[in-house]
Structure formats: C-alpha cells, structure tokens
Amino acid sequence: MADTLMTRDAMQTLAKRILALSSADETRVNISSDAAGNTRFAAGDITTSGDTEDTVISITSTVGGRRASSTTNLMDDASLKRAVDTAERLARLSPQDPELVPELGPQQYQNVDASNADVSDLNAASRAHAVEQLLIAARAPGGAMPIDPATLFVAGFLEARSGARGVATSKGLFAYHASTDVSLSCTARTPDGTGSGYASAGGRAWTAVDPGALGRRAAQKALASRNPVAIEPGRYTVILEPRAVADFIPGLMGSLNARSADEGRSAFSRKGGGTKLGEKIVDERITMLSDPFDPDLRGQPFDSDGLPLKRVVWIENGVLKNLAYSRFWAAKKGVEPTGGGGGGFGRNPAGLKLAGGTKSVDELIAGTDRGVLVTHFFYIRSLDQRTVLLTGLTRDGTFLIENGKITKSIKNFRWNDSPLLSLARLADIGKAEPVEAGLVMPSLKINDFTFSSLSDAV
Amino acid sequence: MTSRRDFLKTAAIGAVAAAGTSRIARSESLLDPWSSHTGDPMANEIALAAIQAAKDAGASYSDARVGRYRRQFIAAREHQITGVNDSESFGIGVRALVNGAWGFAATRDVSREGAVRVAQQAVKVARAARAVTRTPVVLAPTPAVKGSWRTPVQQDPIDIPIEDKVALLLAANEAALKVPGVRFANSGLALLREEKTLATTDGTLITQTFVRVGPSFTVTAIGDGDFQSYTEEMAPRGSGWEYITSLDMVGNAPKWAAIAAEKLTAKSVDVGRYDLILDPTNLWLTIHESVGHPTELDRARGYEANYAGTSFVAPPEKMIGKLKYGSRLMNIQADRVQQDSLSRCAWDDEGVAAESWLLIKDGMFHDYQTVRDQAPAIASLNGVNHSHGCSFADSWDTVQFQRMPNVSLLPGNADTTIDDIIADTDRGIVIKNRGSWSIDQQRYNFQFSGQVFYEVRKGKITGMLKDVAYQARTPDFWGSMDMIGGKRSYWLGGTFSDGKGEPGQASSVSHGCVPARFRQVNIINTARSV
C-alpha cells in the first residue's frame, strides 16, 4: 500500500509542519499511522478480506487557559491549516479549564522494539494460506472423533496491524513508537449445533500464532463439547483458561482510577473517606502490573500526553500498591502521575500482566475434585461499580471436572461475579502466557464463582 | 452492543461555522471535505474510476464508497468542560467480487490514482481469498439508482455555535448540582454529519448525507459509604439541533438529579418473580438484543460465530412462519424509513432502496434482515427475491455487511398507557432507562437492568427500589407479554454504538416501542458486600 508506516523522521517532519502553523499558547500533535490487513472466514470460505491504511492527526490547542482539539486525516497544507485553526478557534470559545495541565517539554524515552516484519509482511495471500492451514487442521484434529470433523462449521478472523504513534508539543517534546500486532481466532461448531469450541492466539510477532494448532484445538473442543448436560446453577470452583481470565480480570482497571477512589465512587474508596491504597484487597499470590519494557508486553513507552510510562505495579502480593493518577490529579495529590490519563477504561498502552504460577491448566484440573473449566466469556457488563460486580456468560467449551478429570460437557452459564471478589477467593494460579499483544494472563482457579442461571446457547 | 472502534478516531469538524464567524473559504483541493452535500462531481468521478479499475482488473462486480465523516464531541463534568473535539475523516473503500470471492481495500488517498490503486488491490485480495473459497457469492438483483438524499433537519447541529453547546451542558450540570446529595454531574453531546457517495458496477451512483445527534447526562449522589448514579435515557436520533432543544436538559436536570439522590435511600429489591412493566426507555434495548440480533440472517447462518455469535432463530427453513417467538401481541417491524430514526436512509451501502417489513407477526417469526449476498439463501422460504437493504459500513475504511435496521415493537390497538398497565398490576416492578445489559451468543439468556425501579402493589406505585436486574430466556419472556401500550405511548430509543463484525464496527440504530407488561419474570438483586 502507498501509505507505508510513517518513519520517525517522517512523523517528526509532519509534526513540525503542523506546529509551525499554530499560533496557540501551547500545541500538541498526536499522529497515528496504521496499515492493517484482515481476513474473515466462515463455513470453510473466506467471507471478507481487506487491506486498509490511514493516518490520523489530532491537534490539541491551548489558548489563555482554554483547550480543545481537532482531528483530521487530510495532510495537504490547506487541510492541516484548517485543522489547526479549528482547534484554536474551539479553544478560544471554550470556558477556562480549571484543571488544565501545561503540555510537556522534552522527555527521555527508553526505546521499545515492538515491531516484527513477519507481521507487516502478512499480505492477503499469506493470510489466506494461514486460514487454509487452520481449516485443514480443524478437519483432522486427531483425538476422539465421535463425528466426521470434516463436517465442522469453522469461522474465524485473522488481523495483522502495523502502527506508529507520535506525540509532539510546541515545547519541544517528541515521542515515537512503532509496533505490530497480530491475532488469529477461530470457532468450530458441530453440524448438529450442540458443540462449539474456541481457540485464539496473538502477539507482536506472527511466530506467536500457530494456525494449525488453533484449528485443532477449536475442533477438539467442539467435538468434546457436544450434547452438553445441564447442571444446577450455583457456586462452583472454576478453572478459567488464560483467555477467560483476559476477558474478566482487566475489568478491574476502570476501578483503579485514583480520582474516582478519592471522590468516593469506586470499589477502592474507603468508607468514611480516603482510598484502600496499601490495604490487602485480594489473595497474596496476586500481582498485577503494567510495564512497557516487559519483554512479554513490549508496550508503548509513553501516553498520549507524551508522558514516559514506567513499570507500575497495581497489586503486589495481594496489596493495592498503586492507583492510576492523571497528571492533574497527581499534582493535586502530590504524587507521580502514572500516565495514560489516569484512566484505566480501555487498554493501558504499557500493557497489562497478571503474574502467574508454575502449573499448567491440566495440572490445575488434576488438582480439582469438582469444578467447571471455562474456555472463554462473552458479553461482560458492569452490574455494580461499588464491588466491580460484572455479569457475563461462558462460551465455546464449558466442562465439568470431577476427581481431577474432565468428565462431561455442560451447558453454558450466566455468571454474576466480581474480579475483585474472585481474586480474594483464589484457589490456585497457573502459568502466565501471552493472550494477545500487550496482555499476559495466567489460568486461575477460583472458589465459589457464582453461576446464576443456565443458558441454552451453544 | 460493543464497539472496539475508537469513537474519537473519526470525530468531526464543523465548529468553524459553529464559531459564529464567517464560514471558512473552500479549500483549494478539488475534493473538498467541507463542501456540501449533494454529490460532489469529483467524488462521483473518483468512485466511478475505482469501479472501472476493478472491472478492468477482472472483478465481476465492484462498488466504491467515498466517505466524509465529521463529528463533534463536547463533554462536561460539574462546572467545567472536559473535552471539545472536532474531527474529519475522508477516504475511499472499494469492494470487488472476483470469481465469487470478495476483496476489499481502502485508502485516505482520494485521488484518481489512489482510487485505481486501491481498486486493483481489492481485486488482488479477492483473488487470494478465492483460493480458499468453495462457495461462490451470489448477489440478489437490485435496480440501478441515481440520486441524493439528506436527513431532513431544521438546524444542522454542527452549525450551532459552540458557545451555545457549552452553555447548555454547563447549565444542565449546574441545575443538577443544586439538588442535595448530588456531587457529580456529567453531560455530553455527540454530533455527526456523514456524507457517502456510492458507485456500483450495476450502474448505481448516489450520495447521501446523514445527520445524527446524541446527548448524554449522568448524575451521581454520594451517601454514607454508598454512591448511586442516574443516567437519563436521552435517545440519540437522526435529527437536527431542534431535537436537543426539545429535551430541555436544563429544566429537567433537577428532576433527574433528584432520582439519583432518592436511589440512596431506595429499598434493595427482594429476589423473586414479579410482573415486569417496562417503560419504552428500557424496553428498546431488550428488543435490540433479543429480537434485533437473532433475526440477522448472517448470524443465523453462522457468519458471526467467532465473535457476536449465532442465533437461536436457525436454521431458516425451520423458523420462517414456524417459530413461535412470543405472544400474539408481538408484532415487530424492521425499517429504514422511520422519521428521526438512526437507521433511516434512502438506500443502503449496496444501493438497495430503504423499506419496511415485519420480522415477527402476531408472535410468529416472519422474516430476517438481509443484504444482497445473503438474500438468495432464503428467497425460496420467504418469497423475497431482493435484499431488505441492511448493508452498512461504519467508515470508508471498513467493508459493508449486514447491520440491523430499526427494529420496533408496534403499538397495540387499544389506547393503553403505562398508567393503565400499572393500575392493572397486582405485584410488579416498573423499570425505566437502560442499565446493564448482557445476552448470550445465541440470544436466549439475557439479563438487563435499568436506571430507576418502582415497586407496584395493588395497581399503585408504592416506592422506589434499587439493585434490580431481570433475567429471562427470550421466547419465554416474549411469550409472557400480556399487555402493551397504544400508539400514544410509542417512543423511539436507540444507540450510536451497536457492535458487530471483525474488525469490529459500530452502527447506529433506533428501536421504537410502547410500554409492555411481562408476567412473572425472574428478578435478581445485584448488590454485594466487599
């Protein structure tokens, strides 16, 4: 494609061009340049496949203590000038921002090598080839084959993305980071509609993905999950595979916002005022952190303000060690900002890792008298922010464990539980593994997980 | 309703006119994203060049969309504005069908050269897909159309001065914060103007401009070790600024804030079975999830199996005219023509004319939502040879596919109101506005909450409840509907962010409905102690 990823020099040149057009007190330019290819498949066919490219420029202007932004993907001089003028005009028309924090000057960044050429080289033909490998493996998965696996309905999605992010300010800051990420997931369904299995993998490099292994795994799960039986909803010991943990545990991140906690509207607000910082909130085997320099995460070493991101341990040995501070709230409280705007909704650009133990999922199963094995979750929504209570459903491979073995396929459940309360009921912790780019999660064994009702969905 | 897409990525411009100063001069570039709005000749020419290039490269069919998206967002918390953003996004996406396989490519380079390059790329992608594709795509026929259409509005929201928008949000927050116990107020406006030119090798050439507005308002009250929020259900609409004005956010804010404060002392619900009276402000989302999604034909055929899921309304041959979906009071209409609705258009993203049709008739499943490459699969079952016009892409850089039209519960014949339903109910709960929502991947088991709940005893509201969620199985739930409102109680809800597809796309959709009663629904309590 023509818009190949912007290099550091090209991005810096573009940022300078934009800053030269500005007459605001302070200006920040955020640039993102992306080239992506995707291939979607179902029923053994590729259903859609596409290559896209875009560069998006966001200009944030500050005039007399007022701030606003404009965004464009047009890069001719007239369009850039118009975008700068728009941001400045909007800023002038906005009320003064009492929480305005000045833009940053030059910062020191440690480079993170997060790009792999094998991802940027993944064109439509090589993606189609990978899909074909996955389908071939799904049709001959090995293991017990109660029905002809060639009749499985297989659907999935492969996406490869190369991106570059840049930040520049009128005070001399410039930050640049390039990264790649790739993911492949698939769902196999039995023709009678009673069995479904899912598998996925992803990372910064294509070597993180083995299409054949994913096809086999999804097919085996689909075959093993046929004709599920209903067991009573209630409280069960669960073993969550890493993908299920990745669906569930990051739901905590929104509650880590320091300001919400200080304001009394978070699970980490302490009754009577203050926060739970320093208190033991979950099992002592739990440590969760963000760190762009962790080789398993290879995250972005700065946030959208250009603030360098560092290793932040949110929970260490079960104790709440850090909350997420925006630059404004950090200054008000006299602490270091953690970056990322102090948010937590969405993904921290530095990545997220829940440290694991040494056991495999099979070992966790072997150590369980009675429990439920969960492949992944679906449609998770918040029920109560006070306890981070969430609801969702199990999906694509839910099994009963009895006496250390998987004994039967069971119907899916709706659950109502909280990642915070669950981590306090931790029974065991498995090996951590990369689930997708910038996200490392272990399998977890949790006691008394609340399944509230049965779902007929397969 | 999930969206992985960063809504701000393509947010919009327009505050120039908004500034109340003179409109900016047209840019020098031939393709001017500021131009309005009825078929830029250059956009037409470039789209036509793209489909010709695709045809020359071997495509049996191709379509090209030139899209210009302008969005404006303003957000306020308490006495300050926390964000003002305007954005524009401009580009071209080309779809090509080669030997029965699809390919797509998109670029922000909207020049003749860019269009030709991207069209050739789409053909190349299609050829790569063809190697793994066994079943060739067949398109339902559609007549060639030429023309333009624009959402009818009195005041284009982008053109309203930014000062007026800022003042509205700050005044609404101010009014809410005067209510005792209320500590936080968040309000916002999302204002969109999207222009699309579509050319197809079938001879269609159309330009449409869509205007949409989405206001929001949430207040939080803090009590002793407790906090409660209330979000008013201000439906986004395919309307102009006049709709925002009609909501009287400033006048109503104290009333909304008082609800948040009252929730602090509301009684926590006792679990059990109750007759549920759902206000349209709550029921619209239940319709979206439990009727809108399962009646999408691509889901029923498994094409969303890896992400949004499949459907219990499958396979089509066992469902059309045979599945009892709900009670006889249940008539569900799909349409893309309803006034002020978010899905309204003249043609979809394949150039198929907008229409309305029934999905559920007297409680029986009647028909699906379709696009051109899906309609032929069920033509022998529903007797419909054309697409119902449900094709949509959320940006120039995403491929169009089947998306939900407006899906609405039609009013009953009697002139029943929600008060009549309450008066007729012995022991029940009234639920208003959307709270939490979640449903399984085949759309059977759902659990929804609301923003405010009232206990009903012997035909009267006796007090406010909290911590309420209702949980049911779709056919049981709709089968238990025994009383619905009349025409006068019809209300149009909706969302900007219905998520589906991989990569994820967001679409805007409305759902009209009347209040309705559902008998003996399972109620759970969502409170937990830490």
How crowded is the C-beta side of A282, counted as CA atoms within 13 Å? Answer: 27
pLDDT category of residue A91 using cuts at 50, 70 and 90: very high
Structure tokens at B402: 């089947």
Distance from CA of B437 to the nearest CA of A (A): 6
Give the whole-angstrom CA distance, residue A411 versus residue A393.
11
Predicted confidence (pLDDT) at residue B119 exceeds the cutoff of 80: yes
In this predicted structure, the answer to whether residue B35 has a pLDDT above a threshold of 70 is no
What is the least distance, in Å, from the CA of A399 to any CA of chain B? Answer: 17
pLDDT for residue A339 is more than 90: no
ipTM of the modeled complex: 0.93
Q: Which two tokens stand for residue A185?
A: 């997931």
Instruction: Using alpha carbons, list the distances in angstroms from residue B320 to B36, B324, B359, B365, B376.
Output: 44, 10, 9, 6, 15
Out of A115-119, A410-414, B10-14, B179-183, which region has the weakest mean confidence (pLDDT)?
Answer: B10-14
Q: What 3-state DSSP class applies to B10? A: helix
Residues of B in contact with A90 (CB under 8 A): 15, 19, 84, 86, 162
Ramachandran assignment for A438, one of left (phi > 0), alpha (psi -120 to 50 degrees), beta (any other): left
- What is chain A's mean pLDDT, rounded? 94
Contact between chains at A97 and B301 (C-beta distance less than 8 A): no
| Residues of chain B above pLDDT 90, percent | 89
B367-421 pLDDT, tens digit each: 999 999 999 999 999 999 999 999 999 999 999 999 999 999 999 999 999 999 9
Is the pLDDT assigned to residue B18 strictly greater than 70? Answer: no
User: Can you list the domains of chain A with their CATH numbers?
Assistant: 8-222 (3.30.2290.10), 228-458 (no CATH)
Does the pLDDT of residue B37 top 60, yes or no?
no
Q: How far is B118 from chain A (nearest CA, A)?
A: 8
What residue has token string 């993904």? A347
Check whether the bond before B316 is cis (ω within 30° of 0). Answer: no
- The reported pLDDT for the residue numbered A1 is 40
- CA B270 – CA B287 distance, rounded (Å): 26
Q: CB burial class (10 A; 0-12, 13-18, 19+) of residue B411?
A: buried
pLDDT band of A347, cuts 50, 70, 90:
low
* Residues belonging to chain B: 530
Give B-chain residues touching A54 at CB under 8 angstroms: 89, 91, 106-108, 397
Q: Which of B24, B93, B473 sits opposite A82 (nearest CB)?
A: B24
Q: Are B355 and B336 in contact (CB under 8 A)?
A: yes
Which residues of chain A make contact with B437, given a CB cutoff of 8 A?
381
SS3 A237: strand
Using CA atoms in the order B351, B355, B360, B366, what is the torsion angle rounded to 10 degrees? -60
Beta strands B401-402 and A234-240: pairing type? unpaired
Q: Which helix (H) or strand (E) holds A96?
A: none
The string of pLDDT tens digits covering residues A431-441 is 999 999 999 99
pLDDT attached to residue A450: 97
A56 has a chain B CB within 8 A of its CB: yes
List the single residue in A53, A123, A127 with the smallest CB-CB distance to B107: A53
Residue B13: pLDDT over 60: no
| Domain residue extents for chain B | 7-263, 267-342+355-367+404-525
CB B44 within 8 A of CB B197: yes
Q: What is the structure's pLDDT at A143?
A: 82
**Residues of chain A found within 8 Å of residue B182, distances taken between Cβ atoms:** none
Average of per-residue pLDDT across A363-385: 96
| Of the options 1.20.1630.10, 3.40.50.800, 3.30.2290.10, 3.30.360.10, the CATH number for the domain spanning B7-263 | 3.30.2290.10
**Which chain B residue has its CA at the smallest distance from A129's CA?**
B132
Give the residue-averaged pLDDT of A57-86. Answer: 95
Structure tokens belonging to residue A245: 């943990």
In whole angstroms, what is the distance from residue A128 CA to residue A44 CA?
A: 12
- Reported confidence tier of residue A341, pLDDT bands at 50, 70, 90: low
Q: Give how far the C-alpha of residue B35 lies from the chain's centroid of Cα atoms, to the nearest Å.
A: 27
Q: Look at B166 and A78 and tell me if their CB atoms are within 8 Å.
A: no
Sequence-distant (≥ 6) Cβ neighbours of residue A90 within 8 angstroms: A61, A68, A69, A70, B15, B19, B84, B86, B162
Interface of A with B in 390-419 (CB under 8 A): 391-393, 395, 412, 414, 416, 418
Tokens coding A21: 């057009």
Given CB atoms, is A279 within the 8 Å cutoff of chain B? Answer: no
pLDDT digits (tens, 9 = 90+) for B153-210: 999 999 999 999 999 999 999 999 999 999 999 999 999 999 999 999 999 999 999 9
Q: Quick one: pLDDT at residue B173?
A: 98
Q: Which helix (H) or strand (E) holds B123?
A: helix B112-130
pLDDT average, residue stretch A346-373: 93
In tens, the pLDDT along B425-475 reads 999 999 999 998 999 999 999 999 999 999 999 999 999 999 999 999 999
Where residue B312 falls among pLDDT bands split at 50, 70, 90? very high
SS3 annotation, B258-280: HHHHHHCCCEECCCEEEEEEECH
The per-residue pLDDT for B359 is: 98
Query: How large is the average pLDDT for residues A421-449?
Result: 97
Write out the DSSP string of B427-453.
Answer: EEEEEES---EEE-TTS-EEEEE-SEE
> Nearest CA to B396 among B65, B26, B62?
B65
Q: How many CA atoms lie within 13 A of A13 on its CB side?
A: 6
Residue located via tokens 């002038």: A92
**Beta carbons of A49 and B125 less than 8 Å apart:** yes
Report pLDDT for A348. Answer: 75
Q: What is this structure's pTM?
A: 0.93
Question: Mean pLDDT, to the nearest integer, of A51-55?
Answer: 94
CA nearest neighbour of A57 among A30, A76, A19, A39: A30
What residues contact A202, with CB distance under 8 A and at least 6 apart? A181, A182, A183, A184, A185, A208, A209, A434, A435, A436, A437
pLDDT in tens, B476-502: 999 999 999 999 999 999 999 999 999
> Which segment of A207-211, A452-456, B2-6, B449-453 scores lowest on mean pLDDT?
B2-6
Contact residues, chain A, for B183 at CB < 8 Å:
263-264
Chain-chain contact of B306 with A76 (C-beta, under 8 angstroms)? no
pLDDT band at B39 (very low <50, low <70, confident <90, very high): low
Distance from CA of B108 to the nearest CA of A (A): 6
pLDDT above 70 for A399: yes
Instruction: Note the pLDDT of residue B530.
Output: 60
Both tokens of A359, joined, read: 């056991």
